[in-house]
């Protein structure tokens, strides 16, 4: 619930810098290994980390459990796919359309969802997510349940074409770094303090005169925009837009990433995405019953630290 302080000499900061340095070297490792799989897999991790960072803003700092945030990831992917289907390949235009549409959808759904608390909020966000999921399935012109292939990736002039995997990876990594920096700045601002205050003690914040709906709705919309940005990158990564991107299972996976990495921590979503996706890939190649192994491991992390893996690092640093 409390934001991380920034001390560049602390073990956490050094570990975070080490993680980013290793991620910068992924294309070199992929070239040395002679396989583009590692680069594509690393890009997928980064995209999931961006989406999880957006969800973390409302879940980790705002205490709002949303089971519908995959809606915005799918929305971003479908805007790219549908725009390219109609001949619009300008990536900046696609991004503007996706963000504007997501802001409108998030404002409307947020106004409705935030009238409730607890399980009611969870169920309403789930209902909105499933509503858009079935809307995507019903779009027969754009592939329906089979999804929509992307013939041409977004053209983000003057940047190099996104057909190159290295370009897409470094673009996604730059976006992730920018998102994490913005989240850190936001949660340390007055806005972030009020948002965390409502998470800790809503009645006291209301008594102090802070409007709950305004702050929580702003956080919800910002969170949706970050997830939409991840969706735009996801569409370009897979060259495909699928209704499964909007499913409640995809929303649950984002929640799992945030919880596993550490709710209310800036690095948590990245750490959670790395650990979860690497474990999924490794265990699924070892046995078809990999979920029976992954489940107890996640439970163990939840029992050891309420703030996930990055929370363990934080506790170790305080003890040291």
**pLDDT at residue 1, rounded to an integer:** 41
The whole-angstrom separation of Cα 197 and Cα 90 is: 41
Arithmetic mean of pLDDT, 36-46: 92
- How would you class 290 by CB atoms within 10 Å of its CB: exposed for 0-12, middle for 13-18, buried for 19 or more? middle
State what percent of residues in the chain have pLDDT above 70: 96
pTM, two decimal places? 0.93
Where does the pLDDT of residue 137 fall: very low under 50, low under 70, confident under 90, or very high at 90 and above?
very high
- Provide the β-strand partners of residue 149: 240
Confidence of residue 136 (pLDDT cuts 50, 70, 90): very high
Helices (H), 118-164: 119-138
8 Å CB contact between 54 and 226: yes
Which two tokens mark 194?
């009020």
pLDDT tens-place string over residues 76-133: 999 999 999 998 999 999 999 999 999 999 999 999 999 988 899 999 999 999 999 9
Q: Residue 7: which pLDDT band, with cuts at 50, 70 and 90?
A: low
Residue 76 in contact with residue 102, Cβ under 8 Å?
yes
- Of the listed ranges 144-158, 167-181, 285-299, the least confidently predicted one is 285-299
Residue 2 pLDDT class (50, 70, 90 cuts)? very low
CB 273 within 8 Å of CB 267:
no
Residue at token pair 């009238």:
115
Residues 137, 245: Cα–Cα separation, whole Å: 11
Under a CB-based contact definition with an 8 Å cutoff, are residues 125 and 66 in contact? yes
Residue keyed to tokens 């995507």 = 136
């Amino acid at each position: 619930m409390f934001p991380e302080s920034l001390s560049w000499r602390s073990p956490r900061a050094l570990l975070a810098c080490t993680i980013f340095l290793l991620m910068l070297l992924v294309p070199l490792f992929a070239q040395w290994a002679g396989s583009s799989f590692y680069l594509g897999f690393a890009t997928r991790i980064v995209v999931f980390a961006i989406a999880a960072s957006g969800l973390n803003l409302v879940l980790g700092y705002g205490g709002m459990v949303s089971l519908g945030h995959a809606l915005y990831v799918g929305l971003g992917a479908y805007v790219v796919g549908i725009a390219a289907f109609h001949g619009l390949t300008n990536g900046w235009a696609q991004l503007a359309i996706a963000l504007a549409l997501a802001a409108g959808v998030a404002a409307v759904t947020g106004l409705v969802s935030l009238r409730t608390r607890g399980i009611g909020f969870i169920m309403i966000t789930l209902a909105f997510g499933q509503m858009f999921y079935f809307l995507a399935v019903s779009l027969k012109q754009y592939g329906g349940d089979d999804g929509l292939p992307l013939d041409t990736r977004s053209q983000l002039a003057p940047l190099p074409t996104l057909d190159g995997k290295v370009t897409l990876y470094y673009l996604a990594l730059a976006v992730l770094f920018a998102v994490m920096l913005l989240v850190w700045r936001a949660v340390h601002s007055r806005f972030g303090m009020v948002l965390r205050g409502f998470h800790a003690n809503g009645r006291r914040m209301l008594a102090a005169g802070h409007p709950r709906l305004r702050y929580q709705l702003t956080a919800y919309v910002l969170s949706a925009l970050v997830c939409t940005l991840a969706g735009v990158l996801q569409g370009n990564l897979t060259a495909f837009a699928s209704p499964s991107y909007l499913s409640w299972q995809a929303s649950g996976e984002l929640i799992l990433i945030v919880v596993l990495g550490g709710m209310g921590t800036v690095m948590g979503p990245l750490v959670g995405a790395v650990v979860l996706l690497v474990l999924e890939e490794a265990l699924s190649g070892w046995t078809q019953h990999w979920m029976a192994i992954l489940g107890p491991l996640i439970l163990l992390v939840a029992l050891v630290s309420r703030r996930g893996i990055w929370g363990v690092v934080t506790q170790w640093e305080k003890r040291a």
